[in-house]
Amino acid sequence: MKLAKILTVLGAALLLAACGGGGNNANNGTNTNTGNKETGGKTVKQFNPLHVAHNALTGNSIDINMGPMNGSKQDGSARIVNKGNAVQVTVKINNEPKGASEPSHIHQGTCKKLNPAPWKPLNSVVNGTSVTTLSGVTIAQLKKGHYAINVHKSATDLKTYVSCGDLTM
């Protein structure tokens, strides 16, 4: 039993190191996005969040930092959990304006270089939360590519991003 505990602690330490969990990442989170179709070609400062952690021991979930964009101050987190032949995506955003309904999507690419066409729609963020089940999508599939969760200001202002989080491992 003691050996199993030691191996579990050692494995967790190795996974944390592999994920960059030491906080010594050289990316300060600020990037300039130029020419993005959804930003109308404007140059905007945006946060390029890195994932917080992922459950590599079981491969059943991914946790993501959501960073504020375009001065919104809307940060938060997202969690993707395997649910059989589907995933459940939960997005939690802080500082969402009262009464807002903010569309959210999974896009191919990263927050720094995003494909403006949504890959998978998510339920809108309302009162700071969105929960969506996506059938036919798995965490294994998401780990094979580059994806980002993006939250938009409103259905009438999809060009303004208010929060984004990279799913990259």
* CATH number, domain with residue 130: 2.60.40
Task: Tell me the per-residue pLDDT of 29-55, one tens digit each, with 9 for 90 and over.
Answer: 333 333 344 444 433 434 434 333 333
Residue 75 contacts by C-beta under 8 Å, 6 or more apart in sequence? 47, 65, 66, 67, 68, 93, 94, 95, 163
E strands along 1-156, which residues? 30-33, 44-47, 53-54, 61-68, 76-82, 86-93, 101-109, 114-126, 129-135, 147-154
Asked if 103 and 151 touch (Cβ cutoff 8 Å), the reply is yes
- How much is the pLDDT for 118? 95
Residue 74 lies in a domain: yes
Q: How far is CA 110 from the centre of its chain?
A: 9
Instruction: Report which of 157, 165, 154 is spatially closest to residue 125, judged by C-alpha positions.
Output: 154
Residue 143 lies in a domain: yes
Residue 87 lies in a domain: yes
Which residues constitute the domain of residue 158? Answer: 29-166
Number of domains in the chain: 1
Is the pTM here over 0.85, yes or no? no
- How much is the pLDDT for 169? 55
Q: Give the residues of the chain that fall short of pLDDT 70.
A: 1-58, 169
